[in-house]
Amino acid sequence: ANETLLKGKVVLVTAGPTRERLDPVRYMTNFSSGKMGYSVAEEAAKLGADVILVSGPTDLPNPIGVKTIRIESAQEMLDEVMKHYGKVDIVVKTAAVADYRPKTVHAQKMKKQEGNAVLELERTTDILKTLGEYKETQFLVGFAAETTNVEEYAKRKLEKKNLNMIVANNVTKEGAGFGTDTNIVTIYKRTGEIVDLPKMQKREVAYELLRQIAYELDEGV
């Protein structure tokens, strides 16, 4: 590995799931383990970058040499990311952020009642879209977890969120997506270039992704 590829760059990575509380004992979340994002943070540090990792709840230890900030909800992730955004060069958003949260967070444990219950959800803020709106010189990389029409949806997100690159994983494929040690991704660039990667360890995906980012930065795209 080239230990100077990202020297002098500040890289902000988000990882893991978010947790959206319903009451003091219950929450909504998803199957993200944090492995993809922690791999990106670790590899970026190895390539000489200054790395800030904003992480939802995971079982993983803080990566060595990485400033790790633990948060819980989508709102907390947004607040933490915005705090650092002005001074970063590259953002990689691997986190699986909740799109919805319970509209009411009950102060007391909700009691069982007769019959079914209906839960009202409200939208969270789209962090990546917000970053795209405030983008100055930052190189913005999103991830897209899709189950159908992977290319179409990924390209739509690249446009809509004003990204430089999006990494799509078809999470229905064996060995790709949530929880696994491997991933199968396709990188779509703003320039129109598409990089299809075979099944690899998440660590290798991270390295290849960072190499692609460094290349684009060099090209001044």
Residues found near ligand PMT in the complex (CB under 6 A): 16, 32-36, 74, 93-97, 99, 124, 126-128, 142-145, 157, 169, 171, 177-179
- Is 87 a known ligand-binding residue? no
In this complex, which beta carbon is closest to ligand PMT, that of residue 110 or of residue 208? 208
- Separation CA 198–CA 185 (nearest Å): 7
129 belongs to an annotated ligand binding site: no
Length of the chain: 221
Q: Can you read off the two tokens belonging to residue 99?
A: 């799109």
Measured CA to CA, the distance from residue 82 to residue 148 in angstroms comes to 31
The verdict on whether residue 83 carries a ligand-binding annotation is no
d(CA 45, CA 11) in angstroms, rounded, equals 9
Q: Which residue among the candidates 30, 149, 162, 170 is catalytic per the annotation?
A: 30
Q: Which is nearer to ligand PMT, 9 or 101 (CB)?
A: 101
The question of whether 170 is a catalytic residue gets the answer no
161 known member of a binding site = yes
Q: How far is the CB of 188 from ligand PMT (least distance, A)?
A: 12
Report in angstroms how near the CB of residue 169 gets to ligand PMT at its nearest. 5
Helical spans, DSSP H, in the chain: 35-46, 74-85, 127-133, 150-160, 202-219
Smallest gap from residue 161 Cβ to ligand PMT (A): 7
Provide the minimum distance between the beta carbon of 109 and ligand PMT in the complex, in angstroms, as a whole number. Answer: 27
State the minimum distance, in angstroms, from the CB of residue 4 to ligand PMT.
27
Closest CB to ligand PMT among residues 2, 147: 147
Nearer to ligand PMT, 110 or 121 (CB): 121
Q: How far apart, in whole angstroms, are the C-alpha atoms of residue 215 and residue 94?
A: 20
Note whether 107 and 53 are within 8 A (CB). Answer: no
Tell me how many degrees the CA angle 66-216-210 measures, rounded to the nearest 5: 30
CA distance 83 to 80: 5
What's the CA gap between 167 and 176, in Å, rounded? 12
Measured CA to CA, the distance from residue 11 to residue 138 in angstroms comes to 10
155 marked as part of a ligand binding site: no
Positions marked catalytic: 30
Q: Which residues line the annotated binding site?
A: 99, 109, 143, 157, 161
Q: Which residues line the annotated binding site for CTP?
A: 99, 109, 143, 157, 161
